[in-house]
Chain A
Amino acid sequence: MNLLQKAANNQNLSPFERGLLKFGQTLLWTVGLSVLPALSQALNNPGAIDWRVTLHLMLFSGASALLLGIVKYLKAQGDDPLLSAVEGALEAGAARLSAANGLNEPVTEPDPTPPPTDTPAAAALDLPQAA
C-alpha cells in the first residue's frame, strides 16, 4: 500500500511519511502557481517568455515546499496517534482483560458454503461429476 492509499484510508503515518506527503502536496501547488507568469507572458506576447525568471520562481517554489515538508516532519514528532489507533489499542487492552478474567469470546463462524465439487480442470474437460 503506497503513501497516498494509506492517507486515504486514514491510517497512521510516520512523521517522515507525513512530511513527505506535505512536501508533495505543496510542491504541486507552488510549482503550478510559479508557471502562471510564464503562461501569462506566452498568451500576451508569444516568444517573450523570461525563462530565467520562471526557473527562479520554480526553484523558490520547490524550496518552499521542501521547507514546509521539513516543518511538518518536525511538528509531527509530537503528534498523538489517530483516533483509530487509540481505538485499536483500547480493543487490544479489552481483549487482554477478557482473557485474564476468562470472559468467553464471540464466535466467528466459518463460511457455510460447501467446497465446489466442479473443479476448473474437470469443467474444462467436461467430465461427468460424482454425485
Chain B
Amino acid sequence: MAGSLLPGRHWNESQFQGGHTALCGPNALAMLESALGQSYVNTLAVYTRMLSAKRCGTDGDSTMENLELQAHSDGFTRTERLGWNGAGYAENVWQPWIVTHLLAGAAILVETTNGQALRDLLSGQGEDAIGLQRHLFGIIGHNEGGNSPTLGRTVPYGFIATDGCNNALNPVVGGHRTRILANTSILMYYPLTTLAAARPGALLAIYPKPKPATAVAPTVAAAPKPQPAPAVAVATTTSATITLSLSPDEVNALQKLLGQLPK
C-alpha cells in the first residue's frame, strides 16, 4: 500500500468536555498538536488558551483562521491554510492539497460544510450529532487503497483521522453517553467518498515545530593569546541556552558557586 501516517503515537479523545458543545476546533487542534509533538495535549488546555486570547467563544466555537493563530502561538509556526469556502471545495482541489501536505509531514485540520456525512469505516460509527454542518476534525495520514498494517485491514482510498465528535469516542454504555479521553488506540478512517460527502470547506496544514538551532562551537584556527582576566565583569551581549542534567546535590553546589560570584 502507499500512503502516509505521522510517526509515533496518535491521541484521540471526545470533544464533549467541560459542558461545551462546540469544542471541535480546540479538540482537533489538541489532537494534532499531540501527534506532531509526540506529547499529549488536552482539549480543554487548548480551549483555555484560545479563550484567553479571544480566539474562540465561551462554548469553544472558532474559525480556521483563529485555530491557525493558536497553532502559531503554541509553537507550530509553519502552517498553510485554504480559507473558508461555504460551498465547499471541489474534490480535485482539496484531495491533492491534503495529500501533498501529508506527504510533506504535516497534519491536516479539516472543516466540513456537511459534517453529518462523516462515518468511520473502522467502527461503522457516525457523528454524535444531529444535522451537523460546520465541523472540525484532524487528518494524520492517508491510504491509497489496499492493505493497511496500521489499521489491520484492507481499506479503500481514504484518510486516517481524529474526530472527537464521532460516536466511537462517545459511546452509549447502558443507555448513558460516555466520553473517551486521551486514547491512543482509536482512530477513524474516512474513505475518500465519505470525505467528499462531508464537503471540506476549509483546510489547515500544520507542520511539526521547527527544531531549535543547535549551537556550533567555533573552530579556532590559531590559539588566541591568553587575555588577562578583566578586573570588572563585563556584560556579554549574546546569550545561549544550555540544558544540563544535574542531580539535586549538583544543583545545590552550582547555586552556592553562583552565589559567590561578584555581583
Residues of A within 8 A of B (CB): 98-110, 112-114
Contacts and interface: CB of A to CB of B under 8 A. Distances in A.
B13 interface: no
Main secondary structure of the interface of A (DSSP, over half): loop
Given A99-B86, A100-B86, A101-B63, A107 B132 contact: yes
A100 to B, nearest CB: 6
A7 B103 CA distance: 63
A78 B5 CA distance: 64
Contacts of A104: 22, 24-25, 61-63, 111, 134-136
B24 A107 contact: yes
A123 to B, nearest CB: 19
B128 interface: yes
Contacts of A110: 128-130
A92 to B, nearest CB: 15
A131 to B, nearest CB: 15
B161 interface: no
* A-B pairs with lowest CB-CB distance, top 3: A102-B84, A106-B21, A106-B22
Main secondary structure of the interface of B (DSSP, over half): loop
B95 interface: no
B201 interface: yes
Residue from A100, A105, A106, A107 whose CB has the most chain B CB atoms within 10 Å: A107
A86 to B, nearest CB: 22
Contacts of A106: 21-22, 59, 61
Residue from A103, A104, A108, A112 whose CB has the most chain B CB atoms within 10 Å: A104
A104 B86 CA distance: 11
B84 A107 contact: no
Contacts of A112: 172, 175-177
B64 interface: yes
Contacts of B64: 102
Contact of A102 (B16, B22, B170, B202): B202
